[in-house]
Structures are given as structure tokens and as C-alpha cells.
Structure 1
Amino acid sequence: MSSHGRDLLVRHAMETPMRQLGRPVVVAWIVIFAIALTLRCGASVYWQNRQADHNTFAFGDSFSYWVLGHQIYEGDEYKFGGDDARISRAPGFPILIAGWHWLFGGKPSVISVRIMNSILGALTVVAVGWLATLLFSQRIGLYTGVLTSIYPGAIAMSVLILSEGPFCLFMTLELVAVYYCFWRANASSTSKRCAAILLGINAAMAVLIRPSWLFYTPALFTAVCLLSKHRLRNLSLVILGALAFALVMLPWWVRNYQVTGRFVPTTLQVGASLYDGLRPGADGASNMSFMQEFYRQQTLEDALAQSKPIDTYEYRLNTRLREASLRWSRENPSEVLRLAGSKFIRMWNVFPNSDAVGSGVTRLATSLGYLGIMLLTFLAVISMIRKKSRPIEGTKQASWRIVALCSSPAVYFTALHMVFVSSIRYRQPAVLILSVLAGAGVAICLPCVPFNRGALRADGGSDG
């Protein structure tokens, strides 16, 4: 190849996504980001002003994240609730809060951490729009960005000091990496390997923030290997992604082994969470009042033991709770099925399950926003099914593949929370990804906006 040809190739490879988008689209995304950030920051201030004082939290989980984040910043031992609770929370979200402590000299206000979550939430809007652009077109990407920027459920997750907000960003970036790793047409082997590494890193970050995501990526890798025409090529990428995942998780795994002498992949709250969802008197909602009795039983058993237990108290308590839940489930299979149905309804209910979810206006906005996203999603899916030989304008991948990827978080979280406790809180990350399909639904409803028609149709990707 001549030097001139090499220069052209390098210049093309280094062309930034911004230049590829074009100025009108970049301006549109700046506006969408500004709207998303303004809505989230405004909601954060409103929510904080409703609290008893400016240093209180609405949820106990929020307080635990705050304490752990401060401990990381101070260099103290990582634990919440004493020496018997050293693996109660994964460190992802507390690390972000610790970084915010560093930025504010160790004394951040509660509202400032809400603003941090709002910034992450606005970035998530852009990430979801990016995913929609990759799968469909620039136009559908913008529609998706508008939908996610104003979706009440996404705004709420950005306002609350809970792990769902930052988790959504890394979850979305993982799905973006899936596209670049397995679906992008004419991509070089180097770029695919880089995407596989980023996939593993983002998957690990998502798990460190929200441990319930642990089994999604292995399931995704399995599907990619089994359903693809290029199994050997994809297997090498899967192995690379898995290595990157393990490398990011390794410090947490090593630390947990040092504490317990056992391999603990996420936390030692799995037993309590499982018993919360599958136990006598369970109704699908969370009620941890049973914990005091289990603490009493475990403490009594330890006192009567002939020798000092090998495992830590926290590990033994987790095992006791897990075994009690599994034993009850084996003895009451019909009740387990009934609870699964109840939890499904709780998760996907149009109306909030609790009266504690804000005012009547807030509840109405939450319901209407969710209903709108779902109706547009169903419209897009039905259109893809009816026009599978003629995909809707802008579609870059086989329709079934887009639907499978965008619905996979919804399927995963639904299956998970038909076992564990359920509420509309747990559907919000899934709805964010479904909004990609909802953006396609908007494109079906509205006439084409010809701001950049050349970008609306893209070359089809190879079967990854």
C-alpha cells in the first residue's frame, strides 16, 4: 500500500464520532443532555428540600452507601454495622461516593451527591441514545434520547442515592460494547478485541455497583457463542471479555477471601435477600423484620458450639438464611409459584405499588411515562415482526437481534425478581434499554425528519 493510501486509512480510522455525526446532531445531543441534566438536578433539589433536614436520607440503603464511601475516602476498614458486616455491600457505588468526598475535601453535602447521580443519569441518557444510534439510526437515537431524558422513572433513579442510577450507565455501556465486539460490520480484529475488553470492564463495574447483574454477562456470552455462525471467533472474544471482567473483579474477590477464607463473588446479603423473597408470609414486597430472629438463632448456636466456628459470623448467617429459604421453597412449591406471579405484577404494574411514591401528581407522571414507553416499545416490536423482510428505516441489524438485545435486561431482571423481592424500582434499568425500541416506535409514528438522510440507512452488520 502506498504512503498516501496509508495516510487516508489512518485519517479515516481516526475520524471522531462527532465528525461522523455532523454538527446538527451534535447540537441536538447537547440540548438533550442539558435537558436531562436540568430535570435531574431540579428534581434533586426538590427531593432534598422535602427531607427533614439537608443531611438526611429517605432510604436506609442510601445511608449505608454514604458511610462506606466515607470509609473508603478516610482509608478506614470497609464495613457497615460492625465487624460482622464487612461484605454487606459491593464497593462500586461507595467508590464513586468516595471520589466525590475527595472532590469536596471530605465534606460533600447530601445534595451534592444527588447532583453527582444526576450527572451520571444525564450521561446514561446519552449512552442509551448512542446504543439506539448504533442499532437503528441517528434519528431514532435522538428520539430515544428525548424519551429517556424526560422519563420519570429514569429521573427518579438519578435523584435517589441508590445504586440503580450509576449502574444504568455501565449496563448501557456494556451493551454498546456488545455491538462493537460482535455486530459491527467490517471491524478489524484489533477493534473487536478492544471492544471485548471494554465489555468485560463495564460488566464488572456494573456488578460491583449492582451485584444482581452477576449472571447476565455469562448468559450473554453463552448466547453469543451458541447462536452465532462464527463460534470460534466469538469464543476468543468471549474469553478476552471474561478475563477483563475477572481482572476488574479480582481485588474484591481477594479481599473477600481474606475476610472469610471463602470465595464470595459479590456480597453476603444474598441469603437475606433470598429469604426476604421466599419465606412464610412473603407477599413480594421487602420486609426484613425477620433478621432479628435469625441473629438470635445464630448467636445462640455459636454460644452452644463445642469449638470455635471456622467461618465468620457473617458467612454463617448468610448460609442459615439461604438454607432456610431453600428449605421453605422445597416444602411449598405452590406458594413459590403464587409469589412469582405476584412479584411479576408488582414489577410491571402500571401504577406504583406503594403510596409512599411521592404525591398524586408524581404517581400519575410515573404511570404515564412508563405506559408511554411500553406502548411505543410494543409498536416497534410488532412492526418488526410484520416487516421482518423489510426492516423499518435505519435498522442496521436483523430485527430479532435488536429485540433480543434490548429486551434481555427486562427478561433477566424479571426472572431474578420473580425469586427475590419485587417492585417498580427494579424495572427501571430494563425500561431504559427498552426505550431504544420505544425510540423506533416514535420513528414509526412520526414522519421522517430529513436532517441527515445519508445517516438513516447504514450498511448491515455481519452475523456475529
Structure 2
Amino acid sequence: LVALTILAALLLYPWLHATVRDGGQWSNLVYVGSGVALGGIIIAIVLACWSLPLRLLSRAVMYPRTAMFLWVVLVVSFAGRMAVLRWEDSLAGSAPQSMGVVHFENTAFLPPGQALAQWAVGELIGRTPEANRFFACVIVTAASLLCYALASMAYGKKAGRYALLLIAFMPSWLSYGMLEYDLLLGMLLLLLIYMFFARRSKKHTLLYLAVFGLILGFTCLVKPIALVFPAAIFLLYLGRKVRFAPALGKSAIITVFMLAAIAPWTARNWKVMDGKFVLISTNGGVVFYSANNPDADGLAKTKIISELSGQYDNEVEMNSACRDKAIEFVRENPDQFAKLAGQRQVWLWGSDAGYLSGILEDRVEPNTLNLIRGAHQLPYAILMGVFAVSILMFRKRLIANVLQVSIAGMVIYVWLLHMVFESHPQHHLPALPFILIMVAAGLAELTKNPSKAIGQGAATSAAIENVPLANTTAPLEEFE
């Protein structure tokens, strides 16, 4: 492991040197630390995946019908998604921008994870619009497989099959696949983190926790909302009846390796920002203020931000000033803040076609645009309706153990996050796979005995809710 890390550091040295332009020379310590951390991430992923083909092959032999089902659904959905994305690109008159080389210049306004991933993919398969589409479709296909596995472990194989069908053919991924790579990649990494935690606590060895922490660190570089996960993981360990000291130790190991993955970027920010500490990005206060200002309506207000941009020497000062202005606004206008919180939830959950409409508006015929918007919005509306019914009817069985609570917790976390920060329709995407899993669990319950389940309804479902959970030990052992 040490030898491979040193080798990775040497191989990554030229790229690390070129990452920062006009920022001066880095110290040797930062070079070595960056190489070790990034090399460790690469090695961790290799170590985590080396046995995956053998495991998948053995499962395919043991469960041929499941393997065939997975293969057909994933291949058909992947091919269909590629075709529809090409069609939507042609309608818009311009394909997504090709993946360019990573040049951050002297800024840390955006998290770097998405750009780093696109750079790596561009090096492997080229920087073309077709590569962009392929990258997006691979992410969604991998997320579909993880969604199937997570739903199967949490609620049984029947729920897993429903979850796979829902996520594989959900139209959402078509619109977001055009430009929103950070959301797609963040969704995949969040599912991967959940799969890591889902294994039995006894199998959380030091190496396992180290890999867990490194992947969590890269997730933070894509979506900084994951920075709070170590605290949540500690609480979930306690919920699994792990004693306090071991739970704290495991969480601490995860946190250390998470910070090790983030450290090279933080060191780079220290150099570029003239000695100012920036953990990941400088847009937290800006995003906070764009959603909480006198002109706010729940969506981001870029005009008020652009007016402030020329008043400060650098983005760190601007970020701090925006945060202070937002806090002042919330303190002085609590009633308006509460009103905006409700408006943000409408923007967040109300539409699944708003982002696509923004891309295609003024580029296609109105009738065609309405057809595309309806094809995205109708399945989403049905999905959210089934989600609400499932929560009302089977709430006790949908959150009956720690893994199920953590799945519901992700939905609640996104909901709470956008009570405060700006909302766009695409911002519900990180929570959507977890909503799909709970919908799949509800469908599995409904189809178990539809007449009885539907007949009793939410108000009289106590008898149903008290029925013991379906045995989830078998699917857990199968995936182990």
C-alpha cells in the first residue's frame, strides 16, 4: 500500500504542479501530501473493487434470474437514455459542452470534485459531447445498480426490483444528464456511501473505514453537504447498538481519512487565497444570501450578487460579507424568512421539468416543449403521490431499523437544507433515489395484499403496521 501510494504520488506530481496557475510554487510538503492523499484515493477505490467482478459472477451463477433481470433493465435503460439525450441535444441546437482540462485559476468558488471527475473521464474517453452523454449515462446506470442493492438490503428483493425499474426509467436523469454532472455524481457517491455503511458493523475493519472515509472525502469535494455525515454515522452506529467508544473510534477514523482526501485542495486554497483558510469552496455565504435578501422569492437571485461582486477585494471577503448580510436579514425579517422557506419547498419539490424547460425554451416549438415537459412531470407527480401514500400507510414499516431510518433521513436532510438555502427544481435530485427506494418499499407492501392494504387506509392501518417486517436477513446475506 505504501509503495503504491508513493508511485501514485510520483505519477500525479506533474498534474499537481499544473493545477494552480500563477499561484507560485507549492512547498514540497504540499506536493507530497497531495500526492499521498490523491494516490490513496485511487488505491482505495482499486482495493474496494478488486473482488467485485468475482462477486458479481458468483451471484450471477447463484441467482440467474436476478442477473438476467438486472442485465436487461440496465442495458435497455442505458441505450434508451443515450438515444433520448442525443435527440434532446439536437432539439436544443447545441450539445453539452465538451469536457475540458481542469484549470481552476485563482478561485475556489466552486467545489472541485465534478471538474476533477470530468477531467479524468476526458483523459480516458475523450472530451466530446458524446463523451459527456456517455459519462452521464454511466453514472445513472451505476446509481441504478446501487439503488437496487440498497433497496434489497433495506426492504427485501421485491422492493429492490421495483426500485431498479423506477430509477432506471425515471425521465429525470435525461434532463439532468445534459449539464448537471455535480448532482448526478453526488447522487452516485451518496448511494455508494450508504452501501458502505449498510454492511454489518463487525466487517467495518480499519481498511474498510479508511476506504469509506476517502470516498466520503471525495463526495465532499463534489457536494459539500456531506461534511456533516461523520456525525450522522456516529449516531447511526449507536443506533446499531455499537458501544459508545467503538462507535466514536470508527467515526473518528472515517473523519480523519475524509479530511485527508480534502486536505490537498484546502492546502491549495491556502496558497491561492493568500493565507486564508478555505476548506472546500467560497460560495456558502453567497448561496445563503442569494436565497435570503429583500428581493428573494425562493430561487437564487444572481443580480444582487453581481452588484456586490465589485465591492470586495476577493471572493473570501465577499463570501463572508454575504453570510453576514443573510444572517442580518433573517434576524430582522423572521416572518419573511418563514415565508421564503415555504416558497423554497415549492420550488424544490414541485417540478421535475423546470430545468429541462429552461434549457430548451426558445429553442424548440412550444408543442414539443410541452410534450417533453409533460413526459418528465407526469411520472414525477405520480411518484411523489405514491411516496406520500406509502408514508401515510406504512410509515412504521418504512423506518423500522437503522438503515431504513438513514434512508428517510437523507430525504429529511435535503428538505431541511433548502429551508435555508436557495432552491431549484434540480436540487431535489440527491434525495430522489432515496424517495424511489421508499416508494419501491411501499409498492412491495401494496402488492403483497392490495385489497387489504388499500381497504384499511392510512387512518386504520395499525393492524398492518404491527405485522412484523419482511425478513431482510436473506437479501443482506446475499449481498454480503
TM-score of Structure 1 vs Structure 2, range by shorter chain: 0.7 to 0.9
1:315/1:218 CA distance change after superposition, 3 Å:
same
Counterparts of 2:374 and 2:94 in 1: how far apart (Å)? 27
Alignment partners' CA distance in 2, 1:442 and 1:194: 38
CA distance in 1, matches of 2:232, 2:401: 15
Q: 5 Å matches for 1:30-109? A: 30-54=71-95, 57=97, 70-72=100-102, 77-79=103-105, 83=106, 86-104=107-125, 108-109=127-128
| 8 Å Cα contact 1:44-1:115 kept in structure 2 | no
Per-residue deviation, residues 415-463 of structure 1 (Å, max 9, x unmatched): 1112111122111220111211111122223359xxxxxx97525989x
* Cα deviation digits, residues 155-195 of structure 1 (max 9, x gap): 3333334311111111100011111154xxxx44xx44444
Alignment of 1:189-208 (within 5 A): 191-208=204-221
8 Å Cα contact 2:262-2:280 kept in structure 1 = no
Residue 294 (1) aligns with residue 294 (2): no
2:177 maps to a residue whose letter is S
* Contact 1:381-1:403 within 8 A present in 2 as well: no
1:385 and 1:272 map into 2 onto residues whose CA distance is 37
What is the CA-CA distance between 1:103 and the residue it aligns to? 2.4
Q: Is it true that 1:111 corresponds to 2:133 in the alignment?
A: no
1:361 is the counterpart of 2:376: no
Match of 1:248 in 2: 261
String of CA shifts for 1:279-314, please: whole Å, max 9, x gaps: 111001122012332123225xxxxxxxxxxxxx12
Instruction: Give unmatched runs, 5+ long, in structure 2.
Output: 1-51, 361-368, 450-469
Residue type at the aligned position of 2:100: H
Paired residue for 1:8?
Answer: none
Structure 1 or 2: more helix by fraction = 2
- TM-score for the superposition, normalised by structure 1: 0.77
Aligned to 1:221: 233
Q: 1:234 aligns with which of 238, 241, 247?
A: 247
| Residues 74-99 of structure 1: per-residue CA shift (max 9 Å, x gap) | xxx522xxx4xx10222211112112
Question: Equivalent residue for 2:67?
Answer: 26
Q: What one-letter code is carried by the residue in structure 1 that aligns with 2:410?
A: P
Inter-CA distance 441–194: structure 2 relative to 1 (3 Å threshold): farther
- Taking the aligned partners of 1:406 and 1:157, their CA distance within structure 2 comes to 22
The separation in 2 between residues aligned to 1:344 and 1:253, in whole angstroms, is: 33
- SS of 1:356's equivalent in the other structure is helix
Q: What code does the residue aligned with 1:111 have? A: E
Counterpart CA distance in 1 for 2:441 and 2:327 is 42
Map of 2:223 onto structure 1: 210
> Could you tell me how far 1:336 is from its partner in structure 2?
0.9
How many angstroms does 1:210 deviate by?
1.8
Residue aligning to 2:435:
434
Deviation for aligned residue 1:31: 1.1
Q: Aligned to 2:312, what secondary structure does the other structure show?
A: helix
Per-residue deviation at 1:147?
Answer: 0.6
Relative to the length of structure 2, the TM-score reads 0.74
For residue 177 of structure 1, the aligned residue among 184, 187, 196 is 196
Alpha-carbon distance in 1 for matches of 2:401, 2:84:
37
CA distance in structure 2 between the partners assigned to 1:159 and 1:296 by the alignment: 32
Bigger shift: residues 96-105 or 372-381? 372-381
CA separation in 2, counterparts of 1:195 and 1:371?
Answer: 39
Q: Residues 127 and 332 of structure 1: is their aligned pair in 2 closer, same or farther, counting only changes over 3 Å?
A: same
1:458 aligns with 2:473: yes
Indicate yes or no: 2:381 matched with 1:371.
yes
The match for 1:131 is: 150
Q: Matches of 1:41 and 1:420 in 2, distance apart?
A: 33
Q: Which residue number corresponds to residue 144 of structure 1?
A: 163
1:16 aligns with 2:80: no
Residue 296 of structure 2 aligns to a residue whose secondary structure is: coil
Shift in CA distance, 109/243, structure 1 to aligned 2, threshold 3 Å: same
Are 2:338 and 1:337 equivalent residues in the alignment? yes
What CA distance in whole angstroms lies between the structure 2 residues aligned with 1:272 and 1:362? 33
Paired positions, count = 393
**Structure 1, unaligned runs of 5 or more:** 1-12, 58-65, 300-312, 392-397, 449-454
Q: What code does the residue aligned with 1:41 have?
A: M
Aligned amino acid, residue 416 of structure 1: L
Letter in 2 for 1:173: L
Hey, what does 2:3 align to over in structure 1? none
Is the contact between residue 120 and residue 158 of structure 1 (CA under 8 Å) also seen in structure 2?
no
Question: Aligned partner of 1:92: which letter?
Answer: G
CA contact (8 A) 2:152 2:475 kept: no
Residue range with higher mean Cα deviation, 417-426 or 224-233: 224-233
Tell me which residue corresponds to 1:305.
none
**In the alignment, residue 235 of structure 2 is paired with which amino acid?**
A
Bigger shift: 17-26 or 169-178? 17-26
What is the rounded CA distance, in whole Å, between the counterparts of 1:88 and 1:14 in structure 2?
Answer: 39
% identical aligned pairs: 18
Question: Following TM superposition, by how much is the alpha carbon of 1:319 offset from its aligned partner in structure 2, in angstroms?
Answer: 1.5
TM superposition shift of 1:25: 0.7
Per-residue deviation at 1:205? 2.0
What letter matches 1:220 in structure 2?
A: A
The runs of at least 4 consecutive aligned structure 1 residues that moved more than 6 Å come to: none
For 1:348 and 1:291, how far apart are their aligned partners in 2?
Answer: 25
Mapped contact 1:180–1:195 kept (Cα < 8 A) = no
Amino acid in the other structure paired with 1:115: F
Structure 1 residue 380, shift from structure 2 partner: 4.0
The question of whether the paired residues in 2 share the 8 Å contact of 1:71 and 1:78 is answered with: no
1:257-268 to 2 correspondence within 5 Å?
257-260=270-273, 261-268=275-282
Report the Cα distance in structure 1 between the residues aligned to 2:388 and 2:94, rounded to whole angstroms: 43
CA contact (8 A) 2:167 2:433 kept: yes
Any idea what the Cα deviations from partners look like across 1:1-43, whole Å, max 9, x if unmatched? xxxxxxxxxxxx9982542451111111111211221232122
Alignment correspondent of 1:9: none
Question: Displacement, 1:339?
Answer: 0.6
Could you tell me how far apart the structure 1 residues matched to 2:472 and 2:352 are? 38
Alignment partners' CA distance in 1, 2:54 and 2:120: 33
- CA distances 1:234-259 after superposition (whole Å, capped 9, x unpaired): 22221221122112111111111222
- Return the letter of the residue paired with 2:257: A
Aligned pair 1:283/2:322, yes or no?
no
Query: For the structure 1 residues 333 and 424, does the alpha-carbon distance in structure 2 shift closer, same or farther, using more than 3 Å as the test?
Result: same
